[in-house]
């Protein structure tokens, strides 16, 4: 399993699954969530609405993950997970987001997956803390199915912080 740290826009990634830093409503928002919904098209929102009506009428709890198709994206699937709001939810749930997303990817035979830095935007987790938690979570995940994990950083400082942490 290879871990690659890349600076870029996750909506452009040609991988089996991209992960969305959603909120518990699953009905879209700003940041990477808004970008993914815009790029995937309205069918993604329709599938998210179906998930709300069926398996998650109260919304998706923090740390959990659900999968949908990718529609107009190059990625086959979108895995939606809800990160913790810094200072308000248990920070250990951030690792759960990564682990549960990886499990779901594996169950759906994904060989490649791309993650944004969940909770480091609107939800305010410091990028240095995110890098440490993510390093621990992804390096300890053993998979016979997933071959490539991309950690996609939007900003150049975020990218540098991740590079430094993963090279340490």
Q: In the bound complex, what is the minimum distance in angstroms from residue 77's beta carbon to ligand AR6?
A: 16
Between 9 and 28, how does the x/- string for binding to ligand AR6 read (CB under 6 A)? xxx---------xxx-----
**Given 33, 90, 136, 158, which residue is catalytic?**
33
- Return the structure tokens found at 4: 């690659």
32 binds ligand AR6 (CB under 6 A): yes
For strands 77-82 and 112-115, give the pairing: unpaired
Q: Which of 35, 51, 129, 145 binds ligand AR6 (CB under 6 A)?
A: 35
Question: Could you tell me which stretch among 63-71, 72-80, 134-142, 151-159 binds ligand AR6 (CB under 6 A)?
Answer: 151-159
Nearest one of 86, 144, 142, 73 to 114, comparing CA atoms: 73
Please tell me the distance from the alpha carbon of residue 113 to that of residue 145, in angstroms, as a whole number: 11
> Which residue's entry shows tokens 């975020």?
158
CB of 151 to ligand AR6, least distance (A): 10
Binders of ligand AR6 among 69-108, rule CB under 6 A?
A: 83
Regarding 33 and contact with ligand AR6 (CB under 6 A), the answer is yes
Q: Is 44 in the site for ligand AR6 (CB under 6 A)?
A: no
**Which residue in 75, 79, 116, 149 binds ligand AR6 (CB under 6 A)?**
116
Distance CA 100, CA 79 (A): 10
Asked if 33 is an active-site residue, the reply is yes
- State the sign of the Cα–Cα–Cα–Cα dihedral 127, 90, 133, 143: negative
In degrees and rounded to multiples of 5, residue 126 shows phi and psi of -60, 140
Alpha helices in the chain (DSSP H): 31-40, 42-53, 93-107, 127-139, 156-167
Catalytic residue set: 33
Site for ligand AR6, rule CB under 6 A: 9-11, 21-23, 29-33, 35, 83, 116-123, 152, 154-155, 158
């Amino acid at each position: 399993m290879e871990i690659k740290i890349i600076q870029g826009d996750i909506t452009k990634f040609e991988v089996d699954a991209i992960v969305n830093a959603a909120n518990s409503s699953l009905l879209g928002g700003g940041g990477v969530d808004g970008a993914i919904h815009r790029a995937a098209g309205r069918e993604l929102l329709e599938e998210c609405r179906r998930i709300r009506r069926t398996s998650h009428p109260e919304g998706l709890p923090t740390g959990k993950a659900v999968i949908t198709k990718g529609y107009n994206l190059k990625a086959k699937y979108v895995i939606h997970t809800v990160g913790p709001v810094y200072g308000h939810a248990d920070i250990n749930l951030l690792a759960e987001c990564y682990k549960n997303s990886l499990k779901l990817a594996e169950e759906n035979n994904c060989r490649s997956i791309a993650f944004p830095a969940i909770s480091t935007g609107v939800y305010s987790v410091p990028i240095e803390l995110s890098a440490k938690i993510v390093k621990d979570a992804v390096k300890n995940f053993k998979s016979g199915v997933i071959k490539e994990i991309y950690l996609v950083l939007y900003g150049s400082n975020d990218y540098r912080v991740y590079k430094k942490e993963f090279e340490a």
